[in-house]
């Protein structure tokens, strides 16, 4: 027996253990965790944090796309994930340190909702990351909760859609109760369920091509040559849809001003204004500048666009965007739209709103908004419309737009405005939209887009014509 050769040392996997998480795997998840912590603890917005972090990271495009998916997915499914934490942890989610809670959500999202990531990999990387928090004080908790969840999450009970439809939609589909209740009144159960599911899906990156510099087909071919999965958008004639884009600023042609980053629905709501070269246009709530610069491109950079925003930082962003796109007619001013004066051929009121139509792009918003917010914003929107109506010349146009699906901010605001300003009437925008987008206009002549119906963010727009 003493002459027996020692057996080769078994690998970690043969011993029932795990390979050490790779540096890249840890790097991507560490970045996602850091962003989630800042969203949770400081009220930051994920899209802004991601844009800055990815642009300065050394991650490959595939890993940048993973970070984006992890952040948006974890935020979108937060209610569902907290239900799981409450099931497998001896401490409720609200009793956990915010960084630990964010790390558990991040790992559970990978275990339960990303089939391409093995559960053991999600658990192991989360445990490694936990070692970085307070000297590893939470390692035991993170390891225990995640290992229990990895074995038992599929058997967790949720409210029944038949017996408790609001509880089911709120918990299983991860939306705040007040919002579910509001949408059930307006859309019914089946459509609300479809809407909530669509809100939890990742939104694509969409480009708006600057046709003053390049044609969409040419830019599309260029992107494909560089290996990007790109396709024309369904409704916007100048849109390109990208999958797994990574940091948009790193895309070929960005520095040259060949395109802007702008959602497809957002591109559509500028069109009903019917802005023409040589006109004088007011964009009353202009930052970050996507619609302002789109209008300037539609006007072939001839005429004048006065772009207002109350924040100097927003104005600087508009100016940088206009410069990159080689647009000279944009005159950005730090000013309150409620103090705007002068007469214009067209006025765009892209009003401050709850943003509840953009939950694919801004999933954290659902957890921050309240019914009181919606009521307060509706009041602001009505005051803006009433004041800015005086800036529209006789025969001119006024477009009111939001990125929300709530009637208080949309149809009810429009009804109140028409009652107070009889000189204005809703005008049919069909002729101003490309053929595919005309189906988005309702019988009431108002433009609406929905994530579950059209694959677009939820936007609303109405064109008014002044008759006196």
Catalytic residue list: 403
Ranges of beta strands (E only) in 198-296 are: 205-209, 229-232, 239-243, 259-261, 280-283
The gap from C-alpha 188 to its chain's centroid, in whole angstroms, comes to: 24
- In whole angstroms, give the CA distance from residue 251 to residue 261: 11
Greatest Cα pair distance in the chain = 107
Measured CA to CA in angstroms, residue 202 lies from 74, 242, 456 at distances of 11, 12, 11
Which among 351, 362, 374, 355 is positioned nearest to 182, based on CA atoms? Answer: 374
Cα-trace Rg, the chain: 25
- In whole angstroms, give the CA distance from residue 398 to residue 348: 6
Which among 81, 79, 61 is positioned nearest to 69, based on CA atoms? Answer: 61
- In whole angstroms, give the CA distance from residue 331 to residue 130: 49
Q: Determine which helix (DSSP H) or strand (DSSP E) holds 402, and give its type and residue range.
A: strand 392-402
- In whole angstroms, give the CA distance from residue 362 to residue 39: 11
Q: Determine which helix (DSSP H) or strand (DSSP E) holds 50, and give its type and residue range.
A: helix 46-55
Q: Is 334 left (phi over 0), alpha (psi -120 to 50) or beta?
A: beta
Q: Which two tokens stand for residue 114?
A: 């990303």
Sequence-distant (6+) residues with CB within 8 A of 33 are: 99, 102, 103, 106, 129
Ranges of beta strands (E only) in 92-176 are: none
- Beta strand pairing call for 259-261 and 392-402: unpaired
């Amino acid at each position: 027996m003493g002459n027996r050769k020692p057996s080769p040392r078994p690998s970690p996997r043969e011993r029932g253990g795990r390979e050490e998480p790779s540096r890249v795997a840890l790097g991507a998840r560490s970045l996602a965790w850091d962003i989630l912590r800042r969203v949770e603890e400081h009220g930051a917005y994920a899209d802004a944090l991601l844009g800055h972090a990815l642009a300065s990271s050394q991650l490959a495009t595939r890993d940048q796309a993973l970070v984006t998916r992890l952040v948006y997915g974890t935020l979108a499914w937060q209610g569902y994930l907290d239900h799981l934490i409450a099931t497998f942890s001896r401490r409720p989610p609200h009793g956990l340190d915010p960084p630990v809670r964010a790390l558990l959500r991040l790992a559970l999202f990978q275990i339960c909702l990303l089939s391409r990531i093995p559960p053991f990999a999600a658990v192991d990387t989360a445990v490694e990351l936990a070692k970085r928090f307070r000297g590893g004080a939470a390692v035991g908790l993170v390891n225990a909760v995640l290992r229990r969840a990895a074995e038992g999450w599929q058997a967790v009970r949720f409210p029944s859609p038949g017996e408790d439809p609001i509880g089911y939609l709120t918990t299983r589909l991860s939306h705040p109760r007040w919002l579910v209740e509001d949408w059930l009144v307006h859309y019914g159960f089946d459509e609300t369920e479809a809407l909530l599911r669509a809100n939890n899906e990742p939104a694509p990156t969409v480009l708006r091509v600057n046709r003053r510099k390049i044609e969409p087909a040419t830019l599309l071919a260029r992107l494909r040559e560089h290996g990007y999965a790109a396709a024309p958008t369904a409704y916007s004639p100048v849109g390109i849809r990208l999958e797994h884009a990574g940091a948009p600023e790193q895309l070929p042609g960005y520095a040259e001003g060949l395109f802007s980053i702008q959602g497809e629905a957002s591109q559509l709501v500028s069109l009903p204004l019917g802005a023409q070269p040589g006109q004088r246009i007011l964009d009353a709530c202009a930052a970050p500048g996507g619609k302002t610069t789109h209008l300037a491109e539609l006007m072939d950079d001839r005429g004048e666009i006065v772009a207002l925003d109350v924040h100097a930082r927003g104005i600087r962003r508009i100016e940088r965007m206009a410069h990159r796109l080689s647009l000279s007619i944009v005159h950005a001013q730090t000013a309150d739209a409620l103090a705007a004066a002068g007469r214009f051929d067209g006025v765009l009121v892209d009003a401050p709103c709850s943003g509840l139509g953009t939950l694919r792009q801004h999933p954290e918003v659902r957890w921050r908004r309240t019914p009181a917010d919606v009521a307060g914003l509706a009041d602001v929107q009505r005051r803006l419309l009433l004041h800015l109506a005086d800036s529209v010349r006789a025969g001119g146009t006024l477009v009111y737009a939001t990125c929300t699906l709530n009637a208080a901010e949309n149809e009810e605001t429009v009804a109140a405005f028409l009652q107070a300003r009889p000189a204005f009437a809703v005008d049919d925008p069909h002729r101003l939209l490309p053929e595919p987008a005309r189906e988005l206009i309702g019988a009431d002549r108002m433009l609406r887009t929905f994530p579950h119906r059209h694959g677009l963010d939820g936007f609303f727009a109405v064109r008014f014509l002044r008759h006196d």
